[in-house]
Chains A and B, each alone.
Chain A
Amino acid sequence: MLYLLRIIRERTRPVPKKKVAKLTAFVEGNSATVRLGDLEFFIRTGYEGQLVHDNFDFALFGAMALGISQNIDIETDLRISSQTLAAVRAFNDMMVIWNPRKIYPISISANNVYDAPEQSADKPSLFCLSGGVDSTYTAITTPAELNLTHGMLIAGADYPADAEDAGFKELSTNLQKFVNKTGHQFFSTETNLRDMGLNWELMHIPLLMTCLSFHASVFGKGVISADMTPGQEMAYHPWSNVGAVVGAMSTPAFPILHWGRDINRTEKVLHIANDPRNLLDTLSVCNLGDEGKKNCGTCEKCVRTKLNLLSGGLEMPDLFVQNSDLAELVDDLVHPKSMFARRRLICWIYENEVNLPDGDVKGAVVRRRKRLRGSVVPLGRI
């Protein structure tokens, strides 16, 4: 019944009044201020070298995220590469056919467009690093020819747009230890773009693109870690971190790789666990426990990671603050209200069910899967 009411709410949700706004941007040193009409956001990088900007593609990615979230058509005289203009239009077209809630496709007019040269293959690559399973897997499995040298943590994505935030600083310390083990370099980038009122579910990849593309003068490629396999992406549609979106954002002027789509999270966790550098030590799954210093052990993400480990025959209680009975934790998982979130839960519950050994935990996982499947509306010709 609640679901039916939600559908009525979505069908009757008023569309924000269409506006047209001018996109401008100012760069000073390694920071930039971007304005779209009355809205203003900043990007500030901790990268130690000097960045130069042949174009303002980074600003267009961010502005598009704002425009689509708030129904603002974009006009700009900034210098934009034709490739990025085509990429953001392709993304916008995807929003038209996907028709996600609270997303309003827009028009984008750019008056100063040029064909950017292809990126040099000699430049190193930059990846978005959060310390979680997916980006850790990316760090240790990308091929050498990609020349992945730097990881970038973004303040303003999962943490507030403030590099001084306690949780963020704790994560940064953890990541510094991680890159010391793996040989990468690490810096953080701050942006308050999310605070401007983005539809986060669909716009987090454009935000990552803003930050990656901001460094395009130094890095030749960006790498974003996939959080699902293609089959899971379909079950959890509409979601931004999918191959189709990242593929649309990738251009010859700044190619983006979507790494880790071919294997599921269980396999990724086991790959990390088997790494001889003891990388699990610095794995950041949730940071809800021990004032941000440790994974809590009881939230959905921690339960999932424990199940992933158990699927490979591993138990790592020292990674978590609390280690109560795992079968009970599975039984106590909150049943999500939205069909969308239930579908996501089915994806990872079932992934673990397939790989877990028989026993209490698997029994709890099977019960949970049955309950979840019994509570979702089937998809198809309805």
Chain B
Amino acid sequence: MLYLMRIIRERTRPVPKKTTAWLTAETEGNKATVRLGDHKFTIRSGYDGRLSHDNYDFALFGAICLGLSRNIDIKTDLLISSQTLAAVRKFNDLMMIWNPRKIYPISIFANNIYDAPGTDPNSNGLLCLSGGVDSTFSAITARPDIRLTHGMLVAGLDYSDTQNAGFQSLSERLDKFSQKTGYEFFTTETTLRHMGIHWEMLNLPLLAMCLSFHSSVFGRGIVSSDYTAGTELACHPFHNSGPAANALSTSNFPILHLGQETVRSAKVIAIANDPRDLLASISVCNKADGGRKNCGICEKCIRTKLNLMCGGFERPDLFAQNPDLATLVDRLKFPKSMANRRRLLCWVCDNENNLPEGDVKDALTRCRIRLRASLVPLGRI
């Protein structure tokens, strides 16, 4: 019944009034201020070298997050590469056919376009690094030809700013991770998310903005996939998908979407098997011990414990609490929305398929059966 009410709510949700706004941007050192009409956001990079900007592609990536969330058509005289203009239009086209809630496709007019040269294949790669399973897996499995040298943690996504205690704790962990893996690490801060963007669908253009901000130094950006291709479809619409990442990738600044062939349990096992003990610095939730440790009882932690168990690992030292895992699975709260239940179903099945027989697997099977029974099937309805 609640689901039917939600459908009525979505069908009757008023569309924000269409407006048109000029996109402008100013850069000063490694910082930029971007304005779209009355909205203003900043990007500040902690990269220790000097960034230069041949174009304002990064500003356009950020502006479409605002435009699509608030129904604002974009006009700009900023220098924009034709490739990025095509990319953001392609992303906008995806929003048109996917029709996600609270997303309003827009028009984008750029008056100062040029064809940017292709990226230098010998340039280095920059990875969006969160310390979680997906980006850790990308870091340790990236092919040599990607030339991955740096990881970037963005403040303003899961954490409000660089002064946030949780963010600082995470930075410390990532410093240790970098020392073990040999990558360099820096942070970038942006206020774009605070402007009220529709996070569920626009996380990826925000990351593209932060990556592209460093395009004078790096030749390609890397984002880590959350899901395999089959799982992406089950979780649709979700920002971090192959088609969305491919749409934002251009010849002048390619964005690679790594890890799509591997399920999360296999990623966790690959990390656990790494001889550098990378699990010690893995950040799953940071809810315990003032942000210094994974709580051990939230959905993400349960998922990670199950992933570890699939590979025959038990690492209670990674978590603040370690109650009986089967009980934790039995007590998992089902999300209210069908979309989130589908996501939960995906990881429950991933683990159920790979776990050894026992209480925990039985609990997962019960969870899967209940979850499937609570879903509206998809298809010709």
Residue positions of A touching B, CB distance < 8 A:
3-4, 6-11, 13, 90, 93-94, 96-103, 201-202, 229-235, 237-238, 242-245, 247-248, 338-341, 343, 346-347, 350, 354, 369, 373, 376-382
Binds A, one of B127-135, B203-211, B240-248: B240-248
Cβ of B238 to closest chain A Cβ, rounded Å: 9
Q: Which residues in B have their C-beta under 8 angstroms from that of A103?
A: 377
Cβ of B1 to closest chain A Cβ, rounded Å: 10
- A237 to B242 Cα, complex, angstroms: 15
Q: Between A and B, how many residue pairs show CB distances below 8 Å?
A: 163
- A373 to B101 Cα, complex, angstroms: 12
Mask, B225-261, CB within 8 Å of A = 1, is 0001111111011000111101100000000000000
- A229 to B243 Cα, complex, angstroms: 9
A97-B231, A378-B13, A380-B201 are known; give 9 further A-B pairs, CB within 8 A: A93-B230, A96-B349, A97-B349, A99-B375, A100-B377, A232-B97, A233-B233, A238-B379, A378-B102
Residue positions of B touching A, CB distance < 8 A:
3-4, 6-11, 13, 93-94, 96-103, 200-201, 228-234, 236-237, 241-244, 246-247, 337-340, 342, 345-346, 349, 353, 368, 372, 375-381
- Contacting pair B379 A100 (CB below 8 A): yes
Q: Which residues in A have their C-beta under 8 angstroms from that of B233?
A: 98, 233-234, 237-238, 242, 244
Q: Which one of B98, B232, B242 has the greatest number of beta carbons of chain A within 10 Å?
A: B98
- Contacting pair B230 A350 (CB below 8 A): no
- Contacting pair B230 A379 (CB below 8 A): no
Q: Which residues in B have their C-beta under 8 angstroms from that of A376?
A: 99
* CB-CB nearest in chain B for A105: B372
- Contacting pair A96 B99 (CB below 8 A): no
- Contacting pair B380 A340 (CB below 8 A): yes
Q: Which residues in B have their C-beta under 8 angstroms from that of A94?
A: 230
- Contacting pair B376 A7 (CB below 8 A): yes
Q: Taking A377-B7, A379-B100, A380-B339 as contacts, is the C-beta distance between A99 and B378 under 8 angstroms?
A: yes
Cβ of A260 to closest chain B Cβ, rounded Å: 15
- Contacting pair A380 B102 (CB below 8 A): yes
Contact with B339, one of A93, A235, A341, A382 (Cβ below 8 angstroms) = A382
- A350 to B368 Cα, complex, angstroms: 37
- Contacting pair A7 B380 (CB below 8 A): no
- A94 to B236 Cα, complex, angstroms: 14
- Contacting pair B379 A101 (CB below 8 A): yes
Q: Which residues in A have their C-beta under 8 angstroms from that of B100?
A: 378-380
Contact with A235, one of B3, B98, B102, B242 (Cβ below 8 angstroms) = B98
- A21 to B67 Cα, complex, angstroms: 56
